[in-house]
Each structure stands twice: as structure tokens, then as C-alpha cells.
Amino acid sequence: MARAGRAGLGAWGRRCAGGDVAPVCAPWRWASALLWLAAASAAAASVRWRGGEEPDPYCQAKYTFCPTGSPVPVMKDDDVIEVFRLQAPVWEFKYGDLLGHLKIMHDAIGFRSTLTEKNYTMEWYELFQLGNCTFPHLRPEMNAPFWCNQGAACFFEGIDDIHWKENGTLVLVATMSGDIFNKMAKWVKQDNETGIYYETWTVQASPEKGAETWFESYDCSKFVLRTYKKLAELGADFKKIETNYTRIFLYSGEPTYLGNETSVFGPTGDKTLALAIKRFYCPFKPHLSTKEFLLSLLQIFDAVIIHRQFYLFYNFEYWFLPMKFPFIKITYEEIPLPDRNRTLSGL
């Protein structure tokens, strides 16, 4: 990927509050994607398994992250633990199956101890809802965009059968020993301490199979897939059933590295570039009215589709994406469950 150059301001139209200029128009692809961003946040909650430093108090969730929960139990080594695939439409508790029709799904994992007959749920999601993880706040007192993009794992006792079954999936995918469960619990704690930021987008060169992937997402489904892979490595036996996951893609030519927060927005930063990035993020403000939301869709269309520009924040760095048709796509694609023998042979 290119690591030089600077992105120009492009052609921008309307002004944001405070004098910032923002782009101007919006297709159905962006409408459905932004419906996700406006309405989406992974459902359910529980005991915190946070990694890294505590978030800034400025970051506030509309729905509290992990409000109730229970400690992660230590299972008896000879216990037989059933592993369940859990999937339901994002924000199903508020919108029912609305986002399910768009195949915008949240993923989690369920466990059942055959010795105690107790059930548990484990999931990984955003601390401050999906919109906050995908776009920053433009705070008047700060020169740089401010991000509330942390994610973390949760574990709590019980499985809400109605929530998962009514519009989604609750199906047995594997069995394992209590010893494997205990080893998995230690791994999850380590995983949670190293991967603490949520990333919505997968960025690819094109929708074609084998296309170059510029950036990978880091979300609820990726946590489930990592956990399944680890369980297979530890010796869990998985069934052979079809499993599909939601992914949201941006399509772009080779990205250009722009710099980190200090090099772009600091005292010696590139003021023209800094202004361009803030103007791009201006339409993605949280808590918009219906009128403001529709206007923002028009502005986003002008920036991303007409002028083919997207500024991505990834691992504390800013990148410029020269967008390409079809620009954005939400998919619900099959990713097979791990094969224990194949996973062990690859170690």
C-alpha cells in the first residue's frame, strides 16, 4: 500500500456546523449500510472481559455494555460441554427481524454443561454501539477526530432461547471437554487484552474471489471464528453444517497511508489534509433527526460515490481509499466450521 502523498479536499458542498464543509446525495447500497450504522449494535450483554486501558468518560453508550453477568466458571475436566452457534438480527430486541431481512446479523457462542445443566453465553461487541466504533466524534475543543471504538468480550450465565431462535439461529455445532473449556477461557482473556478495538469494514480491491484484501474487519463474527478455530486446535469436535456470517465491504484501489493522529493533526501536521478528513466525517454525526439523517446520506453519496473518496482510521493510522465500483456491499457468506484434524495438522 502506498505510504506517501496527500489527499486533496475534493469537491465539497454543504457546510457542517461550525463552518466545516461537507460533501453533498445517496444510493440504496449506502442507505442499507447506513441503516445498519444508525441502528446497529450487537444485542445482549453481561460480565466484562475488557482489555487495555479504560475508555475516556466522554464515550457514552445508549445501551450499557455488559450490564449484568456472572463469573466464568471452572468446569470439571471430564464434563462434556456442548457448544452452540448463536445468531440473531442486530438490534432484534428493538427492531425485530427488520435487519434480519438485510442479513445484518450478530454472532455469539453458547455453552451447556452436561454435568450441571447450566447454560452460558459468550460474545464480543462494541462498548459504545456500532456507529461510535465506525465513525468519530468531532469535538470543538479538539483538533483531531475523537474515537470511541473499543470492543470487548462478555460472558454471562444463561441463553435467551427466544431471542436466538425466533428470528435467528441456535444450533449445536460442537462438543468438548471441561478441560478444553477452561483452556479456552484463559485464551479469551489473552485475546481480549490484545484486540481491544472494533473495526467495521473489510476493505478489498474488488468483489471477485481472491481479490486483494487491504484491511480486515474486527467484529463479533471474527471473534466467534477465532474462538471456533482455537477450540478446534484444543481438540473440540465440530459438526459439518453450513454457517454464514455478515460482512460489510468497502471496495477501493490501493490505499494511501496518510499518517497517525500526531503527524496529521498535531502542531506540525498537514492542515489541509486534517481539514479534509474532518469534512469527510462531518455527515456521520451521532443522534441525528430523520431529516438530518437523510441529508447526511446525500452528503455521503457525493463524497464516496461521486468523488470516490473514503478516509479510514485503522490501528491508530489514517488511510485514504480511492473508492471503486460497487463501492460498498453487505454480504452474508458461508465460512465453514473448522475441521479438527485439518486444524491440528496445520499447527
What is the CB neighbour count within 10 angstroms for residue 143?
15
**E strand intervals along the chain:** 47-49, 80-89, 105-113, 119-126, 151-157, 169-177, 202-204, 213-215, 237-238, 244-252, 256-260, 309-314, 317-334
| Dihedrals phi, psi of 340, to nearest 5 degrees | -55, -50
Active-site choice (66, 106, 148, 154): 106
The one-letter code for the residue type at 302 is D
Catalytic annotation on 101? no
Nearest to 330, CA basis, from 31, 25, 24: 31
CA torsion through residues 281, 287, 291, 293, sign: positive
Q: What residues are paired with 202 via a beta bridge?
A: 249
- Grid cell listed for 183: 483452556
Dihedral of the CA atoms 252, 255, 259, 264 (nearest 10)? -40
Nearest to 63, CA basis, from 152, 142, 156, 130: 130
- Which residues, 6+ apart, have CB-to-CB distance to 232 below 8 Å? 238, 338, 339, 340, 343, 344
Cβ atoms of 298 and 282 closer than 8 Å: no
Active-site choice (66, 133, 148, 220): 220
Catalytic annotation on 154? no
> CA distances (Å), 312 to each of 43, 156, 202, in order?
26, 34, 11
Known catalytic residues are 106, 220
